[in-house]
Structure 1
Amino acid sequence: MSFNPLQERGIPLDRQLRNWRELNVLPIDPDHADPYTRCRIIAMNGIEVEAILFSHQFARHCPDMEVKHQLAQVRYIEAQQQKAVNWLLPGLASVLETTIAYEQVAVDLTAWVARMEPDPYLKQAYHFGVLEDFDHLYRYANLYEMIEHRRAEKIVDNLTEVMPGRPTYLHHRHPIDNVREPYDKSVVDPISRLHALTIMAAEQQTMNFYMNVGPTYMEPIARQLYQEIGLIEEEHVTHYESLVDPGETWWEQLVTHEYNECYLYHSFMQTESDPKVKAIWELHLNMELEHLRIAADLMRRHDGREPEEVVAPQLPAPVTFEPNKGYLRELLGTEIDVTTIGTGYVKDMHERFQQWQEAIHGGEKAPSELIIDENRTKSGEEYRLETEGPHPVPSLRAHR
């Protein structure tokens, strides 16, 4: 059934404030919850954080006091939504368990977006990033086995494979080679706007998470691995945010943010297996419909345009967390030795890439390589979860 969020009416803003009892959500059971329920929670936390940060940036550049008041009112509700969503994560889970779930989100959400993306250049950007997140999952899974003596299949539940992707030490690139060409807002498919915003928000939240939790570890190898991958997540945010047309007005961006929240809450309602969590998705959707209505009215008043000029009148096919094993294996076989140069992609170790590698590594092994060596020494072998049979990763001939 089609759903047009621009025509639906949600909960009036003055009825959206929740008290402490209502915000005191029951967290999911870490031992029995659907792993994709946890993925949906992590993804929506990133979306809500991006909505809050965007609203703050908008307010800092907006001289209109009435608009600033409107942004502040909606933003406070968004902040309550973010707290309710993020507090669904169980306190019993370790930081590293949550980290592995973050990487499962990055792998399966980005792979799904890549499969659905109609623009070949944007699709290539998602292909490039997902092979790096795939390798991050492998590195953290080995760290998990080494310092917590547990195996990642308990977290990913065989839905996502764990094995080497593009080696993490090769993810370090000169900053100018992380900037992509933006889509053209005048001709872009509306779904491409949502894809870019969704993956940018997810990667931004991962970057923020790693930069904050990394130094809380005592083990030197854990601190080093979070530091290395945290730097790569900064590269990924640069990579994805540059896909967005910088010519979009603040009003266009505001409408897109609110529409995307409606889209994702509506999507996750369709597949959520936990009734308590599904009720939160439904409640937040009804709140976001009002936020979207407010954003659309602001756009009409201040930009002189209709929201249908930016977003589609009907929601696209729902975003789905599902296994992407075959798709990822195909990418591993064809695109593992790709790197970037300028706004494009090559399979050659060009001079700027080589110089950056030499500067960042200083002739030493990267933490992401050391963790595999150390786990082999401690456990007898590295950790992998290959549910579809062994898949030898092609040699990186371009980077030798």
Structure 2
Amino acid sequence: MTFNPLEHRGIPLDRQLRNWRELNVEPVDPDRADPYTKCRIITMNGIETEAIFFSHHFSRVCPEMEVKQQLAEVRYIEQQQQKTVNWLLPGQASVLETTIAYEQVAVDLTGWVARMEPDPYLKQAYEFGVLEDFDHLYRYANLYEMIEHRKAEKIVDNLTEVIPGRPTMMHHRHPMDNVRTPYDRTQAEPISKLHALTVMAAEQQTMNFYMNVGPQYMEPIARQLYQEIGLIEEEHVTHYESLVDPGETWYERLVNHEYNECYMYHSFMETESDPKVKAIWELHLNMELEHLRLACDMMRKHDGREPESILARELPPPVTFEPNKEYIRQLLATQLDLTTLGAGYVREAHERFERMQNAIHGDEKPPSERVIDEHREMFGQEYRLQSEGEHPVESLREVRVKR
């Protein structure tokens, strides 16, 4: 059944405010919850956080008092939504357990988006990034067993493989080589705009998470690994945010954000396995329908355009968390040795890449390599979780990017 958010009225804004009892949601069970339920929670936390940040940025440059007041009223509700969503995560889960779930999101959300993206250039951007998050999952999984003496398979539940991707040490590129060419807002498919917002928001949330939790560990290797991968998440946010056309007006961006929130909540309402969590997705969708209506009214009044001119007339197929094992292995076999040059991709290292590598690594092994060495010293081998069949990285023997 098709669903057009523009044809539905949600909960009136003056009825959306919730009290403390309503906000005090029961978290999911860390041992029994579907791993993809946790992935949906983390994703929607990122979507709501991006909506809040965007609304603040818009308000700071907006001269219209009426618009600033409307943004503030909606933003307060979105703050309540973000708190509700994020507080679904179990408090007894360790930072590393949550980190591994974050990286599972990065792998299987970005993998799904890459498979569904119709624009070849945007598709390549997602394929490039997913191989790096895939390797981050592998590094954190080794750290998890070293520090907490538990295995990542308990968290990812064999839905996502834990094996090497593009080596993390190779992710450190000159900042200018992380800036991509944006889509053309007049030509891009509506789904492409939603994909870009979704992956950008998820990566931004991961970046923010690592910026704050990294120093909480006492173990030097843990502090250093979060520092290294946290810097790469900065690269990823730059990579994905640069895909969005900067020519979009503030009202156009506002409508796209609200439409994307409707899309994501509707997607997760359709695919959620936990009834209590599904009820929250449904409630928030009905709130977002009203937020979208208000944004559309502001676009008509202040931008002089109809929202239908930029939006899809119905929601695309639901965003789905599902295993991407074969797809990731295909990418490992064909794109492992890519790096970036300007807005494009190359297979051979270049001068700017080598300068960056030498400047940040020097003569030392980075934390991402040392965590594997220390795991081997402790357990006799590195930690992996893989399905049957030869791993493409092993068949390549080494990454062909030259240092």
State the Cα distance separating 1:399 from its structure 2 match. 2.3
What are the ranges of 5 or more consecutive residues in structure 1 without an aligned counterpart? none
CA distance in 1, matches of 2:365, 2:249: 45
- Partner residue in 1 for 2:202: 202
Q: Secondary structure at the match of 2:373?
A: helix
CA distance in 2, matches of 1:308, 1:392: 45
CA distance in 2, matches of 1:106, 1:310: 27
Mean alpha-carbon deviation: is it higher for 388-397 or for 229-238? Answer: 388-397
Q: Secondary structure at the match of 1:234?
A: helix
State the Cα distance separating 1:388 from its structure 2 match. 3.1
8 Å Cα contact 2:332/2:392 also seen in 1: no
Asked if residue 396 in structure 1 is aligned to residue 399 in structure 2, the reply is yes
- Partner residue in 2 for 1:128: 128
State the Cα distance separating 1:311 from its structure 2 match. 1.1
- Partner residue in 2 for 1:117: 117
Asked if residue 297 in structure 1 is aligned to residue 300 in structure 2, the reply is no
8 Å Cα contact 2:10/2:288 also seen in 1: yes
CA distance in 1, matches of 2:122, 2:81: 30
CA distance in 1, matches of 2:263, 2:6: 11
Q: Within 5 A, what are the aligned runs for 1:258-337?
A: 258-337=258-337
Q: Secondary structure at the match of 1:399?
A: coil
CA distance in 2, matches of 1:312, 1:306: 12
State the Cα distance separating 1:390 from its structure 2 match. 3.8
- Partner residue in 2 for 1:44: 44
CA distance in 1, matches of 2:103, 2:399: 23
Asked if residue 28 in structure 1 is aligned to residue 28 in structure 2, the reply is yes
- Partner residue in 2 for 1:171: 171
Letter in 2 for 1:231: L
- Partner residue in 1 for 2:240: 240
Identity of aligned residues (%): 79
CA distance in 1, matches of 2:285, 2:358: 49
Q: Within 5 A, what are the aligned runs for 1:86-235?
A: 86-235=86-235
CA distance in 2, matches of 1:388, 1:133: 22
Letter in 2 for 1:277: V
Task: Give a deviation string over 1:174-196, Cα, whole Å, max 9, x none.
Answer: 00000000000001000000000
8 Å Cα contact 2:339/2:401 also seen in 1: no
- Partner residue in 2 for 1:4: 4
Q: Secondary structure at the match of 1:232?
A: helix
State the Cα distance separating 1:313 from its structure 2 match. 1.1
Count of equivalent residues: 400
- Partner residue in 2 for 1:381: 381
CA distance in 2, matches of 1:218, 1:299: 50
CA distance in 2, matches of 1:389, 1:178: 33
Letter in 2 for 1:142: N
Asked if residue 74 in structure 1 is aligned to residue 74 in structure 2, the reply is yes
8 Å Cα contact 1:45/1:86 also seen in 2: yes
Return closer, same or farther for 1:385/1:169 CA change in 2, 3 Å cut-off: same
Q: Secondary structure at the match of 2:7?
A: coil
- Across the aligned residues of Structure 1 and Structure 2, the Cα RMSD in angstroms comes to 0.6
Q: Secondary structure at the match of 1:345?
A: strand
Task: Give a deviation string over 1:279-327, Cα, whole Å, max 9, x none.
Answer: 0000000000000000000000000101111110100010000000000
Task: Give a deviation string over 1:346-373, Cα, whole Å, max 9, x none.
Answer: 0011011001000010111000000000
CA distance in 1, matches of 2:300, 2:201: 26
Task: Give a deviation string over 1:203-237, Cα, whole Å, max 9, x none.
Answer: 00000000100001000000000000000000000
8 Å Cα contact 1:139/1:371 also seen in 2: yes
State the Cα distance separating 1:116 from its structure 2 match. 0.2
TM-score under structure 2 length normalisation: 0.99
8 Å Cα contact 1:337/1:399 also seen in 2: no
Asked if residue 361 in structure 1 is aligned to residue 364 in structure 2, the reply is no
CA distance in 2, matches of 1:334, 1:286: 43
CA distance in 1, matches of 2:264, 2:68: 26
CA distance in 1, matches of 2:400, 2:267: 41
Q: Secondary structure at the match of 1:105?
A: helix
CA distance in 2, matches of 1:392, 1:108: 18
CA distance in 1, matches of 2:15, 2:385: 47
State the Cα distance separating 1:392 from its structure 2 match. 4.2
State the Cα distance separating 1:339 from its structure 2 match. 0.1
TM-score under structure 1 length normalisation: 0.99
CA distance in 2, matches of 1:271, 1:73: 30
CA distance in 2, matches of 1:25, 1:166: 39
CA distance in 2, matches of 1:310, 1:239: 24
State the Cα distance separating 1:396 from its structure 2 match. 1.3
Letter in 2 for 1:260: N
CA distance in 2, matches of 1:91, 1:43: 18
Q: Secondary structure at the match of 2:243?
A: coil
CA distance in 1, matches of 2:291, 2:219: 44
Q: Secondary structure at the match of 2:340?
A: strand
CA distance in 1, matches of 2:400, 2:202: 31
